[in-house]
Amino acid sequence: MKGVCIKDYPAITDCLKRIPTIEPTALNLFVKEDKRDEFEKAFTGEFGQKFLLLPKAKVLEMKLFGCGNEHKDFRSMLGDYLAVAVADVSIFNSQADVEKFVAGHAGLTEDEMAISMIVFETN
């Protein structure tokens, strides 16, 4: 995975209310109300081929966090957008994290979604 720092993209960070949460290949993004169009344009311009940018309504419709009873705070904890990696890029909140971490695990790349399973029988 290639790591980049969100702070190196001021056109994106200027639109955010706070730093992204969840993890570097599944970013939970809270965007300033008056900056949504600007944010979408900046984010897709930089990462459109590497991340799937989903608005909150689509995330809920797709049930990306599962089915069942929601935690009472779930919708308020979910950002305005969820950016999910579809390529080998991770977006970290600091340069130190870029240098420290070598992989993520919440994206939609084949390597992250395919889980090896070994089955053996015992008597």
19 φ, ψ (degrees, to nearest 5): -70, 155
CA distance 64 to 82: 10
**For residue 35, pLDDT beyond 80:** yes
Closest CA to 110 of 81, 90, 85: 85
Checking if the pLDDT of 71 tops 70, the result is yes
pLDDT at 44: 97
> Checking DSSP bridges between strand 2-5 and strand 89-92, what pairing results, if any?
parallel
Mean pLDDT of 67-83: 93
Query: Which pLDDT value is given to residue 119?
Result: 77
Give me the domains of the chain, ranges plus CATH numbers: 2-113 (3.30.1360.180)
Evaluate if residue 110 carries a pLDDT over 70: no
pLDDT tens digit sequence for 92-108: 998 887 777 665 554 55
> Sorting pLDDT into bands at 50, 70 and 90, what band is 18?
very high
Question: For position 101, what pLDDT does the model report?
Answer: 65
CA 83 – CA 24 distance, rounded (Å)? 9
Span 26-34, average pLDDT: 97
Which residue do the tokens 């015992």 mark? 122
Residue 56 above 70 pLDDT? yes
**Of all helices (H) and strands (E), which one includes residue 54?**
strand 51-55
